[in-house]
Every structure is written in structure tokens, then in C-alpha cells.
Structure 1
């Protein structure tokens, strides 16, 4: 049963990553159906609460895009990269981390990857280095973002154990940034010159001033400020119970549940941006960010539901295996890393695998420190941003090797995760969690 279920999960993940779009959602549903019909498994609960949070964030991000806010952020990022082109190996991952942290999804990286590839060629630096680092940076930025689907799921599990979002950020943000800096340093040491046949003659780039936005820079900035205030409000309301709305039932005071804070704040933020910036509601649904977000939401429905069903139906076997071969709690991060590679989704990995850690009695602080391992989706190079980076590098330096696993993203990815987990465990124990 375990092997058949694993085969179904692998096939669905591989086909979904190849076909992209809505395919992962539909194939995930088919996988759950096969689990019930072929393996007589009980389906896990659908991730409706997670989808609610994602839908609210997508509405807010789509509204910002309609106001020109996302375009403005990308233009600022491009300006920063072009201003210091020869330091692109160091600047591009930090810039990518920042915009994905603000946007809550690594799909925003699609907008900046073409700039990174172009500038790298212009100054004679192998595009492989900044592109691979930036793809990994996007994964870490999304994990650390207070409005990402990954953080929604992670905080949901840890909140039950008394770890609030502020504490999570104190660990996740420094560890992901530190791990990324380590990967950048190692990659820069190993960086080689670009092949002569691919080198472009230009040795400098031209600074680009931000172009005129459709709605004007003022409107774009206003939308970004509203969004940042909404994100900050989400964190503060979750961390400080006295800020939450409350009501009484039979004389008992009830606070707004944590699960409802993000959806309500993000929808309110989207409404504020729409009204203040005078955005036509129809234009919100026509943006690329909104479309990508909706596809991601349905992908979570499919793959998270399938992976949770797989783990739930095989939990006794998996618990026995982990207990037999992994003697130390920190080694649970290995399971997270491997399952992330198989599932191809950081959010789905947390949703499916964290219950195993809780069932094993692993301390919540260990789960928090090991959380960066869920970004191991790069190990099997079929992740959309990886394929986009390979396609954008016309020099051919960013590639997948003959043996599949010897690809351009393996080194920076593994170094960043190892560094992030090391920093995470250090911070957890120093902080006395």
C-alpha cells in the first residue's frame, strides 16, 4: 500500500509540474480518488482553511498589481540591479528575497529573472550563478513572508503549541537570510567566467529610471503602503490578543480566532486599496499575479489534499520507519527535505508531514528550526521557477545535468538550507524556546 501510494504521489507531482497551470489541482483530486478506490484509504480533510487565506492574499496582491504597485516594485528591483551590475551575484538574490517576501509568493520572481539574465550577460558573468541563487532566494522569501500560504500553514501548526507569529519570524527571517548569504558566498567562490562563445561585448549597463506607470507612481506607492500596513496588522493582531475583536456568548468573552485574522485583514486591505486608488474591480481579475495566485490556490487543494491523504493512510508505517532509522529529533528535517523534493510544494509538505512530527513528539521548537527544509523543492528540477530560469539563460550555463540531480540549483539550494537550519537551531536554543 505504501509503495503504490508513493507511486501515485510521485506521478501526480511529476505530471503536475510538467503540465503546470490548473493541472496539479485536477491531478491531485484524481490521486485522492485513486487512493480511495484502489487502496481503500480514507481521504484527509481538504485544506479549505488554507485556501481561504490564499484567496484573501491573492485578492490583495491582485489589487496591488492593478494599482501598479507590483510593477513599481519590479522597476525598483531592476534599477538596483542595473546600478551595480558587477555585484549582481550578491544583489540579485537579496532583491529577489525582498520582493517575494513582500508579495508572499515566489511567482513574483518571474518578473525579475529576465533582468538578472540580461544584466549577467552584459557584464560577462555566468547567468547560472545569479539566476540559481535568485530562484533559491524566492523560495526562502516566500517561506518567511507573513502572508504566504507556507507561513499560514506553518503558523497554524505552531500556534497550537504556543509559538506565535512574532516568535516564528524571529527564527525564520534571520535563518533564511543567513542561509542565503552563505549560499551566495560559496557560489561566488566557485564562480567561473562565462564561456567565450556566449560572452556579450558590453561591459556596462545603462541605469534605468522607473517608467511611467499606468496609474501613476503616487497610486502605486499608496497601494504598497496599504499592503505593508495590512501585513503588519496581521502580525500584530495575531501576536497581541488585546487587539483582536471580541464578543460574548452566554457571558463568556470570545476572541476572534487566529485562523480568521489573515483572511479578514487581507480582504479589508484589498478593499482599502481598491477604494483609495480607485481601482476597477474587473481589472483585478485580469492581472497575471491574480491568475497565478488562483492557480496556486487550486494547486494547493490538489497536492496538499493528496499528500495529506498519503501520509494519513500510511501513518503507522511511516512512524515506525522514522522511529527506527532517525534517532535524533533534528533528523526529522531530512524527512521534510525528501518529502519536499517528492511533492514539489513547500506548503503541501508542511501540511502533510508536520503531523508526523507532532505524532512522534518532536518539540515544536525543533519543527520551527527545521522548517526551512521544506524548500527542498529544487532537488528534482521540475519546479516552475527553475524551468523559467533555465529557459531565460540563452548562454546555456544554467542547466540540468545528465544525471538529473547535478543541476545548477543543487549547490546553492543545499548550502542555503543547511545554513538556514544551522542558524535556526542556534537561534531556537539561544532564545530559550
Structure 2
């Protein structure tokens, strides 16, 4: 009878995820909360703990980054990123993904990629590089970047899971594994992706477009104009200084304020406080129009992530808490025998929900409860984030295909025949492998 009850409860959890994914956005949170109600009122389980700490980190970071965007800070960061991409045009399949990755790490969001897409297309096409190569890998690279950013929603969820006894695995412990693993993964993936698809001169579709006049020659590729301001520069520098401060406090426990028990304060409240300070400094120095903040793309995306995180994380915590012994004994044996099963779980939830923070709160607690070391968890967790781009449904994938006037970047029609499928698999495998290695060595 107990087994039947567990199966039915698991069906509720999976059903809530599926239904939320079908509607996307805030619906993920709504279905998650409804699932909690079913587990509590129908099956009589004790209510789990909502991810309050993670939500507070997300809210503080979203507020600060939205202030930066309203002041023009993201526009300034994009102009710098564009100059870096244009500096090495022949190596754009490597440079563009690395730059996209680094700036997504700094900003804590993959939204920074959108204005870079036409730049990547222009530079690649002008220099005879098939645009789908740098465009596809740049998009996928921003996914794993969120596992390396001190100010991403996914990292907020991760820190609140690992920076507690008995793990005591802090922000900097995670980053020292995920960051080098992602860089290694991107470098290795660029070598493979640079061989995907036919060269422009050998592609009959592109050559037909050139002959018909539908597509201009490489020399006529348009120059993308990007605008930045001094105010935007100041806002971006203040925000990045805040990110650096978070890293410094993570590295050096001795400079943190003391908690009530005399030990160094945890990173969760420090991140929250520093982000509020950053937002306030941007307000005082750059004087953005505060009324623009709620309508900014960063704010809207952040609020949607917070709602999805709230509902689904609450649901999974309720289910896992009710059956922790079974999960530890059963799933733990599977994961310990083949740790890649954990990475596959994170990858699949990313595919289904297109949310790294949701995948974190759903699968990471299971991996930790199963006895996987936090270092190994962190390394595989980062690479699995590429899964958000396995299906051609993400906004940045659609935008990349639209900006590619040559038509080399395709969304496909069979779910697996699009330009992002193989780069997603390649980056996931290489980063998971590198992350597992770094996790064992450095964890």
C-alpha cells in the first residue's frame, strides 16, 4: 500500500512539472503550489519548506541587475563584449561563446546575449565562417554560465542547498569547480562545433540565395550599431564591483561579519545585502528612472524565475522530505553505482522546464541525499545546464535563427534536427566530464 502511495505522489510531482511546462512561465510555480496542496490535503504529508533563502537572493539580485539595466549598464556591457568578439574574427567560434559565457557570468543572466546575436552573425558571415557555428554554441554557453555566476537564480538555489551542515560547501567552493569546467567544456566544444555543417562556399542553399540576390555577399553584411553611455558604464562597473565583492567575501571568511554564535556569517545574507547596496549605489550615482525597472526584461524574467522556483521547489521538498529514507537507500544505490544518472536527471529537468533553478531545487537535493559529494554534484550540475537548449523552444534560439540571414541556423521540424541539438549534447558531455574531474580533485 505504501508503494502505491509513493507512486501516486510521484505522479503528482511529475504531472505538475509537465503541466507547468506546457503553459511555461509563472504556470510552473502555480502547478508546483497546487501539487503541494494535493500532497498535503489528499495524501496527508507534512508540508515541506519553501525555498525562502533562495527566493530572497533571487529578488535582491534581480532588483540590482534591473537597476543596472534601467541605467544602461547592460547596453554598455554588450558594447564591450561586441568589441571582444570583433577583435578575433577568424576564431569567432571560440571567442563568441567564451565572451557570451563570461558576460552572462558577470550579469547573472543569459539575456545579455540577445543584442550580441547580430554582432556574432555579422562578424562570422563577413569572415566566411558558417554563422550557425558561433551562434549555436554562444547560445548554449550562456546556459552553463549560470552555474558559474555568483548572482544567478540557479546559483542562489544551489548555495542554499550546499552551504548548510553537513556539507558546508560555500559559493566559492562551487565556482572554483564549475567555472574551469565550463571553460574547458566550451573550448573543447568549439573544436567540434567548428566542424558542424558545410562551409559557406559548399552549402548549396546559401549559394542559391547568393545567386538569386536574396542574400547579400559577405562584404555587404550590415554593421550592427550598439549604443552605450557613461551612465551605463558607471552602472555596470558598480554592479560588477558588487559581484567581485561577493567573490572576495566567499574567498576570505575572516573578513565577514560574525554571526550570533561567533562564526563567520554565511554567504546567503551577504549576497542579499551587497545586492541591495549595489542597487542603492546605482540609484544614487546613475539616477535611472525607477519606474522603468518593473518593465525591464531582466526584472520580468527574474520574477517569473522566482515564482517557478517557489512553487516547484516547495513541491519537491515536500515529496523528498516525506520519503527521504527511501530516496537515500534506493536512488542512492543507483547514483553511487553510476553518478552520471544524477547529471542525466538535472539535464532532463532542464529540458522539460527550461529552468536551471527549477532543475537545481528538484534534483540536487536527491543527489546530496544519495550521498554524492558536493564537489562532484557541483561539477556535473554545471554541465547538465546545457539541457535547456536541447529543444528549439527557447527565446534566444529563436532569436539566433532570425538574426542569421544566411539561413544556416535552423530551428528544424523534428525536435532533433535543429542547429542547437549537437552543440547542446557536446557541451553537456564535455562540461560534465570536466566538472566531475574538477569536483573530485577540488571538492
Helix, strand or coil at the partner of 2:150: coil
Select which of 191, 216, 227 maps to 1:201. 216
3-state secondary structure, aligned to 1:308: helix
Is 1:235–2:247 an aligned residue pair? yes
The 5 Å alignment of 1:8-407 reads: 8-17=12-21, 19-82=23-86, 84-117=88-121, 120=124, 125-160=129-164, 161-193=167-199, 194=203, 195-196=205-206, 197-198=208-209, 200-204=215-219, 205=221, 210-211=226-227, 213=228, 217-246=229-258, 253=262, 255-313=264-322, 315-328=324-337, 330-331=339-340, 332-375=342-385, 376-390=387-401, 392-393=403-404, 395=407, 397-402=409-414, 404-407=415-418
Task: Give the drift of 1:100.
Answer: 0.8
1:415 aligns with 2:419: no
CA distance in structure 2 between the partners assigned to 1:292 and 1:122 by the alignment: 33
TM-score norm. by structure 1 comes to: 0.86
| Contact preservation (8 Å) 1:62, 1:284 | yes
CA deviation profile, 1:330-369 (whole Å, cap 9, x unmatched): 3333333334334432222222222222222222222222
C-alpha separation in 1, matches of 2:395 and 2:223: 29
- 1:424 matched residue in structure 2: 435
2:147 partner SS: helix
Is 2:24–2:353's contact at 8 Å kept on the other side of the alignment?
Answer: no
Q: Partner of 1:143: helix, strand, or coil?
A: coil
Distance in structure 1 (CA, Å) of the matches to 2:308 and 2:366:
22
RMSD (Å), alpha carbons: 3.0
Query: Is the 2:119–2:224 Cα contact (8 Å) retained in structure 1?
Result: no
Q: Secondary structure at the match of 2:262?
A: strand
Deviations 1:143-163 (A, max 9, x none): 111111222222333333233
SS of the residue 1:370 aligns to: helix
In 1, are the aligned partners of 2:78 and 2:116 still within 8 Å (CA)? yes
Q: Which moved more, 1:238-247 or 1:147-156?
A: 238-247
117 and 209 in structure 1: CA distance in 2 versus 1, 3 angstrom threshold: closer
Question: Are the counterparts in 2 of residues 79 and 209 from structure 1 also a CA contact under 8 Å?
Answer: no
Q: Unaligned regions of 5+ residues in structure 1, if any? A: none
Structure 1 segments of 4+ aligned residues over 6 angstroms from their partners: none
Deviations 1:117-154 (A, max 9, x none): 46555666544322321221111111111111222222
Distance 2:11 2:60 in 1: 34
| Cα distance in 2 between the residues matched to 1:345 and 1:397 | 23
Deviates more, 1:269-278 or 1:151-160: 151-160
- Structure 2's unaligned 5+ residue stretches are none
Helix, strand or coil at the partner of 1:189? coil
For the 8 Å contact 1:176–1:372, the answer to whether it is kept is yes
Which moved further from structure 2: 313-322 or 368-377? 313-322
Q: CA deviation at 1:222?
A: 1.4
Alignment size in residue pairs: 424
Q: Which moved more, 1:358-367 or 1:178-187?
A: 358-367
- Give the secondary-structure state (helix, strand or coil) at the position aligned to 1:88: helix
Moved more, 114-123 or 162-171: 114-123
**Cα contact 1:62–1:290 (8 A) shared by 2:** yes
TM-score (norm 2): 0.84
